[in-house]
Chains A and B, each alone.
Chain A
Amino acid sequence: MLNINNLQVTIQDEKQNIKPILRGVNLSIKPGEVHAIMGPNGSGKSTLANVLAGREDYHVTEGTVALNNEDLLLLEPEERAARGLFLAFQYPTEIPGVNNMYFLRTALNGLRKRKGLPPLDAADFLMLAKSKIKEVGLDETFLHRAVNEGFSGGEKKRNEVLQMMMLEPSFIILDETDSGLDIDALQMVGRCVNSLRAHARMILVVTHYQRLLDYIQPDVVHVMSNGKILRSGDKTLAHELEAKGYGWLEPEVKS
């Protein structure tokens, strides 16, 4: 269970000006639910995703976030990961010199250790990685390359999905994973996310477009604008947005 209550967040820009980004977000996700957040550029969607994952650049001024009744904001990013939180990044980072497989294995065995499970040995890990990498449509050679280094935009997104499939998190946030993807890749993301849909798992899809939601049917759709959730509804809200754009909601911003 995720409970976000009146979350307010600011960021300091290069000129040291403090700029509010989230202006009181309220959101609850129950186990088994898939939620989508849509909204125009600059509305705060990605900020919300990053604040949940624990990025340091943001300053929480007000509000609370509870994941399974625990104060998420007090936890380090690695502790949040250990509680099952996973963010698929909008712009995955390149890490030169760090082997992708080594990175994945360190992450997976780190999480297993925290759960009191024995580490996977090299052979078992390799078998698992090889089967998962096939599912995301990457060649096995990507396991032996440096993390994301020289990957195309689409390959980076597939690598994010690979990590998600390997780590099997219980709270998944997809931050515009669909942007820059072709139809095949989009279908792959949909297929992988759907394969993880389970009664105990929470999924939050941040997206600009309704397209991805054809593959991942959300239980709840939220519209975010100017740091607030303006409206929530079922999946028909996404279709309505696709047809009308965000403009028709603007009066609600002003009121």
Chain B
Amino acid sequence: MDVHGPLSDEGVVRLLTHTGERVEHPVYSRYADELDNATLRLMWREMVIVRAFDREATSLQRQGELGLWVASLGQEAAQVGSGHALRAGDWVFPSYREHAVAYLRAVDLGNLLRIFRGLEHGAWVPDEHNFHLYTLVIGSHTLHATGYAMAMDRDGLVASGDPSRDAGVICYFGDGATSQGDTNEALIFASVNNAPIVFFCQNNQWAISEPATRQSRVPFAQRADGVGMPNVRVDGNDVIGSYAVTREAMDRARSGGGPSFIEAFTYRMGAHTTSDDPTRYRSKADEEYWAERDPIARLEAYLERSGALSPEYREETAEIAKTLAADVRVRTKAAEKPPTHEMFDHVFAEPHATVDADRAWFERFERSFVDSEGRH
């Protein structure tokens, strides 16, 4: 496409072309070489599973079982690739579209839908997955991630002398988030504190209806130049490239080399959310162009060519995806609203007179509804 700036793929690292050809890169090939065929086909499987989950969630929303769904369609490679570069001890600060990363961090995707069914705000225990809660206010969590990384550094988890113990943070956000003050402050705080963090910007080119050109005149990775932070653009639909650049940046973070910025150039193949209508602001041609660059198809083409994708493996994957989608469907439809009194829980960690009074009042109010036989 004849475009420049944040809508172009100028200078992206690409190790797998959109037709599934493996290409070399002077810096990043060495990380790609770590991925054997068994790992690559696992990555393919994970992408397929998450896409099936995504489709199921969209259906559930259409059938009125979810209030809203935020699909990750098209961004699976950026997420699975970067997610594979993380270790158990690393910490992830997602935005709200990182379902594939959630899956890699063993977050129960069925539980995740509770958020979108209106049952709760946070559907997993962050400490159990080293995966923070979703943050819906754009960019706010970039600062939490930075502070968390600063704290990990203090706790001796960076350049500890035992590289297997070292850990860092990865923070996911989108192209729109780069315009937020908080994101820019996060880059500054991370930079001056040499925090062990990777800022992973998924430039999916659309902030709801606003193209990336409404956020920037230059590729987003260049934002990091202003704070002296190493940065790289990668083809976000290339799972191998996404792995390689993240692997390098996380290594830098864990070993005391400080923060990095990755711009994964990708495309939001679906709507922003189920409430959105992309036909109002983008062209069919644009969508078709990107359909040809589908992240799953290109890995599949590569695996096919190298004979790594057996019919059995395909069938097994389809079965796993189907089972997961069915399980998610059943559990979502069965999930009932929590008891109303739970809305008074955990407002404060210690007793607070105002909340206690509200709770007591509400309980009295509820008890006041008594039927003719004395039942509540």
Tell me, yes or no, whether A binds B.
Answer: no
